[in-house]
C-alpha cells in the first residue's frame, strides 16, 4: 500500500460521539456477528495461496489471480453476485539484484536490501556517471527535492540525479529528472524513516534506472556530489510490460441504490511477500463483514453496501483509480461515502483513524462529511475505552481517488514504515522507536506479522461503521433513512418561510 503517515500526537477520544437517533435501535449487532475466526480463516487462505504461487499475491501474478477467485467464491457462498472488473496496468518485475557502487572518489559496493533497493518501475540499464545533488533539504527536513522542474535548473545532462524522498509522488521526481537529461536517479529516504525506500513504487515506468538508498547514505553522498567528485554505478535488472488484472465488486440486494456505502481494501501484495498485514488484513476484514452483513435484514440496510477488493494498489492505486474514473458522474454521485481499510494488524501498531476533519492541521482539505466518518469510528472505540490516534488524510491509499472526486471518506490503519512514538507506546504497548510494521513490504509479512488482538478490535470498528452507515448517512451527506424522508414528504408543505417569504 502507499502508506499513511501517522499523526505525531497520540490523542485518545475523550467521549463517545453522539450517534444519530436513526441508528440507536440497530439490531442485531454486526460487530458481534463477525468473529475473530471469520477473519483469520481468510488470512490463512491468503497465506496458503501465496505459499504455493511464488510467495506473493502481487498484481499480474498467479497469487493475485487466485486471490480474486477465492474472494469471488466466498462471496457467492454468502449469497452475493460478485463481478470482476478488468483493467490494464504496467506490470513490473525485478529480474536481478542489480548493483549500486561508488566508483569515485572511493570504491564502495552497497548492500542490496539494507543499503539500496531497485525502485519499482525502474527500467533496465547499467549507468556509471557523475552525480548531481538536487535541491538538497536542510538536515532533518523532508523538503520537496525534485518535485519541481525548476529544481533541475542547470542540471548537467547525463549525470545521475541524487534526490530526497518527500512531498510529491516518487514518479514526479523521476520524470523531472528524465526531462532534465539525467541518466539515472538515486533517491535517498526521508530523515524520519530507516532503511532504503521499501516497496519503492513509482506506479508507472520511470524511463530510466532508479535506485533508493538510506537517508544516512544519501547525506554522506551530498557533499561529494556538491564537490563534483562523486561517481556512481547504477545497475537495474528489471522487466516492464503492459498486463491486465481485476477488481472484485459486490453489493447487498437491499438498500438505496442512490446512496451507496462503499467499503474497500486492496487485495494485492508487493512482489516481495505474501502481504498478510498489507493488506490481507483489510481484505479479510471486509470479506468477513460482507459474509454477515445480510443478517442485519432489510430494515437495517437502508443504503446499499458495496464491497470492493482493489487490484494494483501497490502500483499507485491503479485499480481504485480505474474504478472511480470509469464511473459516470451520475454513478459517482450515488456513492455516499467510502470506507477504506489498509493494514489493520501491524505488529507494533496503533489504532489510527483517518483525520477526516483535518484537526491535525495538515491542510489536506478533506471532502465535507469525512470528519463525521472519523467521529463515528472514534466514538465507537471511545465507548469501548480503546485509544485512537489520527492518521494523516493524505490520499496515499485507495480512498485517494474518491476524495479527489469530492466523495467523503474515512477508515482505519495501524501504521506502516513510520516509527512508533513514546506516547503511542504508552497507549498501545509495543516498542517506541521501532517501525509500526518491521516487515512492511518485505518477505516476512506473513501470518506471524499480525497483531491479532489489534486486528480483532479493528474489525469490530469496520463492522460498526458498516452497520451505522447502512442505516443512515445523515451526518455525512444529509441523507436520513428513507422512512424519515417519506414521512417528511407526506407532511403538509408550506409555501412560505418563517418570515413569510415565498419559497417558490
CB 427 within 8 A of CB 454: no
Q: Which of 169, 172, 165 is nearest to 214 (CA)?
A: 165
Tell me the C-alpha distance between 286 and 275, whole Å. 16
Please provide the DSSP assignment of 73-84 as one string: HHHHHTT---EE
Apex 385 CA angle, 419 and 44, nearest 5: 60
CA 370 – CA 450 distance, rounded (Å): 28
d(CA 250, CA 252): 7
Active-site residue identified among 120, 251, 313, 374: 313
Whole-number Å distance between alpha carbons of 175 and 177: 5
Annotated catalytic, 313?
A: yes
At 404, give phi and psi (nearest 5°): -65, -25
Q: Select from 64, 37, 38 the least CA-distant residue to 274.
A: 64
- Its sign, for the CA torsion 441, 443, 449, 450, is positive
- Residue 112 CA to residue 120 CA, distance in Å, equals 14
Pairing state of beta strands 108-109 and 99-104?
A: antiparallel
64-309-397-327 Cα dihedral, nearest 10 degrees: 120
Q: Which residues contact 385 (CB under 8 A, 6 or more apart)?
A: none
For residues 56 and 48, give the distance between their C-alpha atoms in angstroms, rounded to a whole number. Answer: 10
Residue 396 CA to its chain's centroid (Å) = 5
End-to-end CA distance of the chain: 51
d(CA 355, CA 345): 19
Pairwise CA distance, residues 31 & 138, whole Å: 48
SS (H, E, C) 187-214: EECCCCCCCCCCCCCCCCCCCCCEEEEC
3-state DSSP of 453-504: HHHHHHHHHHHHHHHHHHHCEHHHHCECCHHHHHHHHHCCCCCECCCCCECC
Are 350 and 436 spatial neighbours (Cβ–Cβ below 8 Å)? Answer: yes
Determine how β-strand 303-310 pairs with β-strand 256-266.
Answer: parallel
- Rounded to whole angstroms, the Cα distance separating 164 from 170 reads 10
Catalytic residue set: 313
Amino acid at each position: 500500500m502507499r502508506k499513511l503517515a501517522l499523526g505525531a500526537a497520540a490523542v485518545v477520544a475523550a467521549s463517545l460521539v453522539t450517534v444519530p437517533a436513526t441508528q440507536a435501535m440497530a439490531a442485531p449487532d454486526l460487530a458481534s456477528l463477525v468473529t475473530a475466526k471469520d477473519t483469520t480463516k481468510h488470512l490463512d487462505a491468503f497465506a496458503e495461496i501465496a505459499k504455493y504461487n511464488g510467495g506473493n499475491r502481487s498484481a499480474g501474478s498467479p497469487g493475485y489471480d487466485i486471490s480474486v477467485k477465492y474472494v469471488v467464491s466466498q462471496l457467492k457462498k454468502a449469497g452475493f453476485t460478485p463481478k470482476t472488473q478488468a483493467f490494464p496496468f504496467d506490470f513490473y518485475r525485478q529480474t536481478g539484484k542489480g548493483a549500486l557502487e561508488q566508483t569515485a572518489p572511493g570504491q564502495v559496493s552497497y548492500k542490496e536490501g539494507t543499503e539500496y533497493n531497485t525502485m519499482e518501475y525502474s527500467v533496465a540499464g547499467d549507468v556509471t556517471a557523475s552525480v548531481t545533488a538536487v535541491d538538497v533539504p536542510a538536515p532533518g527536513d523532508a523538503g520537496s527535492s525534485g518535485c519541481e522542474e525548476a529544481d533541475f535548473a542547470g542540471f548537467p545532462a547525463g549525470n545521475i540525479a541524487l534526490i530526497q524522498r518527500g512531498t510529491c509522488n516518487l514518479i514526479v521526481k523521476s520524470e523531472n529528472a528524465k526531462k532534465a537529461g539525467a541518466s539515472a536517479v538515486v533517491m535517498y529516504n526521508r530523515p524520519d524513516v530507516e532503511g532504503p525506500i521499501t516497496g519503492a513504487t513509482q506506479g508507472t515506468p520511470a524511463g530510466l534506472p532508479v535506485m533508493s538508498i538510506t537517508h544516512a547514505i544519501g547525506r554522506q553522498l551530498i557533499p561529494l556530489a556538491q564537490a563534483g567528485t562523486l561517481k556512481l554505478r547504477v545497475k537495474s535488472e528489471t522487466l516492464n510490460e503492459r498486463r491486465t488484472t481485476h477488481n472484485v465488486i459486490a453489493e447487498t440486494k437491499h438498500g438505496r441504490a442512490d446512496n451507496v456505502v462503499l467499503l474497500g481494501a486492496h487485495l494485492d501484495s508487493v512482489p516481495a511477500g505474501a502481504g498478510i498485514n498489507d493488506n490481507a488484513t483489510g481484505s479479510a476484514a471486509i470479506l468477513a463483514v460482507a459474509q454477515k452483513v445480510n443478517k442485519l435484514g432489510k430494515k437495517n440496510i437502508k443504503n446499499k453496501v458495496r464491497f470492493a477488493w482493489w487490484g494494483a494498489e501497490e502500483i499507485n492505486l491503479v485499480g481504485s483509480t480505474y474504478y472511480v474514473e470509469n464511473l459516470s458522474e451520475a454513478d459517482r454521485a450515488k456513492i455516499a461515502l467510502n470506507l477504506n481499510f489498509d493494514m489493520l494488524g501491524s505488529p507494533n501498531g496503533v489504532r489510527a483513524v483517518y483525520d477526516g476533519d483535518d484537526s491535525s492541521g495538515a491542510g489536506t482539505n478533506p471532502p465535507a462529511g469525512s470528519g463525521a466518518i472519523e467521529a463515528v469510528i472514534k466514538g465507537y472505540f471511545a465507548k469501548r475505552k480503546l485509544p485512537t490516534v489520527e492518521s494523516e488524510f493524505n490520499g496515499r491509499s485507495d480512498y485517494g481517488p474518491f476524495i479527489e472526486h469530492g466523495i467523503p471518506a474515512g477508515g482505519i490503519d495501524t501504521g506502516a514504515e513510520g516509527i512508533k512514538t513514546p506516547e503511542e507506546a504508552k497507549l498501545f504497548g509495543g516498542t517506541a522507536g521501532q517501525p509500526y510494521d518491521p516487515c512492511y513490504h518485505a518477505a516476512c509479512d506473513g501470518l506471524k506479522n499480525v497483531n491479532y488482538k489489534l486486528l480483532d478490535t479493528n474489525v469490530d470498528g469496520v463492522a460498526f461503521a458498516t452497520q451505522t452507515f447502512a442505516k443512515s448517512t445523515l451526518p455525512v451527506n444529509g441523507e436520513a433513512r428513507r422512512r424519515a424522508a417519506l414521512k417528511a414528504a407526506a407532511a403538509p408543505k408550506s409555501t412560505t418561510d418563517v418570515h413569510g417569504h415565498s419559497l417558490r
